[in-house]
Amino acid sequence: MTKVIKIAIIGLGQVGNYLYRELNLKKKNIEIKSGKKIQISAVSAKNRNKKRKYKINKKIFYIDPIKIIKKIKPDVLFEVIGQSDGISKKVVETALRNQIHVITPNKGLISKHGDYLSKLAEDNNVNLEFEASVAGGIPIIRTIKEGLATNKISKVYGILNGTTNYILSEMRDSRDSFANVLKKAQSLGYAEPGNPKLDLNGFDAFAKVRILSALAFNTKISKHKCLMEGIEKIELKDIEIANQLNLRIKLLGISEIINGQLFETVHPCLVNKNTYIGNVSGVMNAVILEGKPIGESILQGEGAGPGPTSSSLLSDLSAILKGDIKKPFGIPSTKRKYIRCYNLNNYSNSLYLRFEVKDKPGVLSSITNRLAKYNISVKRLIQTPDKKSKKATIVIITHKTTEINIKKCLSIFNKNKNILKFPTLIRLYN
């Protein structure tokens, strides 16, 4: 007789509820592949009687998740509440201390407390798995930890947030404003109805970058504040001008080792229309890895939603049932080190600068003189007058310059009354 593996699901929102159904649907399949019988022994959420898409068995419902750990003693616990601290952290901690395997899609929790929690898992000889925390259904974590285990990875980057990628694609296709498209994204369930800020300002993607760095470079999770910019300042105008220039705007997350130092960033990038990354549209995510001897590898798939997330959660379960992997980050915690952060001031890019100005003599030369003073040379300049309002839009594509240089250069435009707003800056990627 095989022992039945007891499973607990903590959190019954969109993901938890879908997972509940998937586990019941795929029991047989999991049993065939792993040789182990599974059973959902307990579920927990704030509200027992909330209307849910897939009905749950109320006999196994508990308000208090800690009670589940102590009383039911599950073998595997899914944490799908999603807070980066608070009850999520407490549940995961308590479970690991009680020798319970934990699976979570919680990028906030892992990017903040991943080092501590993975040590806890190792000390208690159980697994802490978080495949679903980065890029939804794409098995990127398993690929780095196992598929490319012996490669020396030098760079990981890509589109890591489906919400912002949908908004940028949809603005381009529908020629509609940021505000309207955001509303559409919310009504379709792609963006949080209440507070979409963490998607829009790059925070969500940055959490994923941190997890990817730690895995790819065998380091501790960084706490540096490198460069994080979201898409809130992107206007339809920028997208249309980019289009004319054969470019597209994408929010990229980038993690790279430069001269032995770690550089992590999330910011909007202008990429060529006919590049691979320029053609990843909608809610799709894509991760590109550069390593030796593998060369360049690409993984693309749906980045969000209960389906892809469940796919990753269940792949973690399969790994645990097969007795795989004990180290959450691929190597023992003690072997993972902090590394120095690359100095952002030296980050160097061609830039897209959009100025909104009063259309009168001398304004253009005040801009170009200022750029010249900082040795920033102009590759391309497009001035579009708006005669009615006596305004003009000036777009400048510069040659490569450093962050520190452009920061100093642009500072003056805060006070110039002929320049109607501080210029919009978007970095060109490669």
Crossing angle of helices 306-321 and 14-34, in 10° steps, is 40
Within residues 72-101, the interface with its own copies by CB under 8 A covers none
Residues 160, 266: Cα–Cα separation, whole Å:
9
Output the smallest distance, CB 90 to its own copies, in A: 29
Which of 114, 158, 196, 330 is close enough to bind its own copies by CB under 8 A? 330
Angle at 388 between CA 383 and CA 389, to 5 degrees: 75
Nearer to its own copies, 295 or 361 (CB): 295
Output the smallest distance, CB 311 to its own copies, in A: 4
Output the smallest distance, CB 292 to its own copies, in A: 7
Which of 164, 265, 310, 401 is close enough to bind its own copies by CB under 8 A? 310
Q: Would you count residue 372 as binding its own copies (CB under 8 A)?
A: no
Q: Would you count residue 323 as binding its own copies (CB under 8 A)?
A: yes
With contacts defined by CB under 8 A, name the span among 21-29, 177-185, 205-213, 247-255 that binds its own copies. 21-29
Output the smallest distance, CB 333 to its own copies, in A: 12
Which of 72, 227, 236, 299 is close enough to bind its own copies by CB under 8 A? 299
The catalytically annotated residue of 208, 220, 225, 233 is 208
Output the smallest distance, CB 167 to its own copies, in A: 19
Query: What number of chain residues touch its own copies (CB under 8 A)?
Result: 55
Check if 417 is active-site: no
Which of 291, 288, 104 shows the shortest CA–CA distance to 209? 288
Q: Would you count residue 333 as binding its own copies (CB under 8 A)?
A: no
Nearer to its own copies, 320 or 376 (CB): 320
Nearer to its own copies, 33 or 46 (CB): 33
With contacts defined by CB under 8 A, name the span among 64-72, 82-90, 148-156, 201-209 that binds its own copies. 148-156
Q: Would you count residue 279 as binding its own copies (CB under 8 A)?
A: yes
Residues 197, 181: Cα–Cα separation, whole Å:
15
Place of tokens 């009383």: 71
x/- mask, its own copies, residues 26-55, rule CB under 8 A, reads: x--xx-xx-x--------------------
Which of 3, 51, 292, 337 is close enough to bind its own copies by CB under 8 A? 292
Q: Would you count residue 129 as binding its own copies (CB under 8 A)?
A: no
Which of 236, 294, 341, 381 is close enough to bind its own copies by CB under 8 A? 294
With contacts defined by CB under 8 A, name the span among 147-155, 167-175, 254-262, 341-349 that binds its own copies. 147-155
Output the smallest distance, CB 143 to its own copies, in A: 5
Q: Answer for the pair 164, 251: CB distance below 8 angstroms, yes or no.
A: yes
With contacts defined by CB under 8 A, name the span among 42-50, 132-140, 188-196, 197-205 that binds its own copies. 132-140
Q: Would you count residue 296 as binding its own copies (CB under 8 A)?
A: yes
Residues 269, 348: Cα–Cα separation, whole Å:
13
Which of 306, 342, 347, 401 is close enough to bind its own copies by CB under 8 A? 306
Residues 369, 227: Cα–Cα separation, whole Å:
28
Residues with catalytic roles: 208
Q: Which residues contact its own copies (rule: CB under 8 A)?
A: 18, 22, 26, 29-30, 32-33, 35, 131, 137-139, 142-143, 146-151, 274, 276, 279, 286, 291-302, 306-308, 310-312, 314-315, 317-319, 322-325, 330-332, 335
